[in-house]
Structure 1
Amino acid sequence: MLVAAAVCPCPPLLVPEVAAGAAPELNDARAACTDALGVLAAARPDLLVVIGPAEPSGRGTHPEGTRGSFHGFGVALDVRLGSAKGDDMDPAGAEPRLPPSLAVAGWLLERTGWSDAPIEGLGVGEPLAAEGCIEVGRGIAARAERVALLVMGDASACRTLKAPGYLDERAAPFDAEVARALGAADVPALKALDVELAYELKASGRAPWQVLAGAAEGAELGGALLFEDAPYGVGYLVATWS
């Protein structure tokens, strides 16, 4: 059963080495993510599942210890998803396999010194329909008596003229509704997110949020919105459910 969840954005810019001189601009987001992971630790889960958007080649499960890298962003920085327990499945010299969203999650977990429960990563692709996401979430919640989720994903990327997806007047209302739903732990609202609109607004968090909605069915959790902003024209949200 799901006992806690943390929702965090997944831009590689969260990692100071990647952001370089712009790193201070996301200090508040990093602090909120740290607070959110504290809620997960306080829930004392038996299993932590980290969920994030992935390209088709990065979909699927990633065992604890799987490597990730920020080399593609010009930074010689490697991370792992939790401890090194996955070395037998990810031997030395193997290419990093974590999608960027889960690499950011790995960095957050290392930064906060996570050691409270076993970890598994799950990459979900944009083509996964809402009902498919919900079914995945239901399966995750049934895997242990106390399950926690770290849900990575960004809101729209169309909030300003300089945003990756340019300005779209639908972006701000979409992000506001997602922020409300995450802050209120509103499962039906997350299930009802418009998949096509989320795709058009380049909201990478849509599928992970709907996995969360499936996992939270019947859990009766309360929500809190810890951070909401749109630096660089991309919606970043941090929330907790417990």
Structure 2
Amino acid sequence: MLVAAAVCPSPPLLVPEVAAGAAPELDRARAACFDAVAVLAAARPDRLLLVGTAPEAESGDYPAGSAGSFRGFGVALDVRLGGGEPGPRELPPSLTVGAWLLERTHWQAAPPTARALPDTLPPGDCLAAGRELAAGDERLALLVLGDGSACRSAKAPGAWDERAEPFDAAVAGALGTADGPALAALDPVLARQLHVAGRAGWQLLAGAAEGADLAGRLLYDEAPYGVGYLAATWS
């Protein structure tokens, strides 16, 4: 059963070493993410699963001990997903950010594992995956990594789109009220057009939360660099 969830943005810029001189610009986002992880720890889960998106070739499950790196972003910084032997594959960027968050908050609760979803995964499959994860009596916590639209300004990675702000506002409302059905109803075609990186993970969360009595709290909702960054907890 799902006992807690945290939703955090996944840009490598959350890592101060990657952001360099721009690091202070994301101080509030970083602090919100740390607070969200603390809520997961307080829930005393039996299992923590990180959920992010990745290209099809990098999708699938990653065991405890899997390694990630920010060397592709010009920083000699490596992270590990908890203890254990390194897995055969390197964590994709979204999950690498999640592993960094756990290291920075000194995660000591349940051993973490991770799952990368293709960003093209249909909503029904996302919901079904969440339901399967939450089945049984095991106390499950989810750390869902993903960004909102990348079309909130003219200089955004996806350029400005008038549909972006309403889309992100709807997601923020759903996350802040633990409204799983609203997340389940997100349009994957529109999400793809707006370069949304969190849709699949949010819909997996919606499936896992079905039948759970959780309250939502929105911790962060801003769009630095024209990208929607959201942090929230369900507990």
- TM-score class, shorter-chain normalisation, is over 0.9
CA displacement at 1:66 relative to structure 2: 0.2
CA displacement at 1:140 relative to structure 2: 1.1
Residue equivalent to 1:107: 100
CA displacement at 1:113 relative to structure 2: 0.3
* 1:150-169 equivalence runs, <5 A: 150-169=143-162
Where in structure 2 are there 5+ consecutive unaligned residues? Answer: none
Give the distance between the partners of 2:70 and 2:76, measured in 1 at CA.
7
Residue equivalent to 1:93: none
Residue equivalent to 1:187: 180
CA displacement at 1:86 relative to structure 2: 3.0
SS across alignment from 1:122: strand
Residue equivalent to 1:48: 48
Where in structure 1 are there 5+ consecutive unaligned residues? Answer: 91-95
The code of the aligned residue for 1:153 comes to: G
Deviation string 1:34-59 (CA, Å, 9 cap, x unpaired) is: 11011000000000000001111210
CA displacement at 1:143 relative to structure 2: 5.8
> Would the aligned equivalents of 1:62 and 1:122 in 2 still touch at CA under 8 Å?
yes
Give the distance between the partners of 1:122 and 1:143, measured in 2 at CA.
19
Give the distance between the partners of 1:208 and 1:127, measured in 2 at CA.
11
Residue equivalent to 1:8: 8
SS across alignment from 1:86: coil
Deviation string 1:107-165 (CA, Å, 9 cap, x unpaired) is: 00000000100211000011100000001111111265210000000000000000000
SS across alignment from 2:76: coil
The code of the aligned residue for 1:9 comes to: P
Give the distance between the partners of 1:109 and 1:130, measured in 2 at CA.
28
* 1:81-230 equivalence runs, <5 A: 81-83=81-83, 85-87=84-86, 89-90=87-88, 97-142=90-135, 145-230=138-223
Residue equivalent to 1:21: 21
> Would the aligned equivalents of 1:54 and 1:125 in 2 still touch at CA under 8 Å?
yes
- Structure 1 ranges of 4+ moved more than 3 A: none
What's the TM-score, normalizing by structure 1?
0.95
> Would the aligned equivalents of 1:46 and 1:144 in 2 still touch at CA under 8 Å?
no
Q: How many residues align?
A: 235
Give the distance between the partners of 1:144 and 1:229, measured in 2 at CA.
36
The code of the aligned residue for 1:46 comes to: D
> Would the aligned equivalents of 1:6 and 1:36 in 2 still touch at CA under 8 Å?
yes
Identity of aligned residues (%): 64
Give the distance between the partners of 1:82 and 1:202, measured in 2 at CA.
30
Root mean square deviation, CA, Å: 0.9
The code of the aligned residue for 1:86 comes to: E
Give the distance between the partners of 1:110 and 1:101, measured in 2 at CA.
15
SS across alignment from 2:142: strand
Give the distance between the partners of 1:212 and 1:81, measured in 2 at CA.
20
Give the distance between the partners of 1:29 and 1:209, measured in 2 at CA.
18
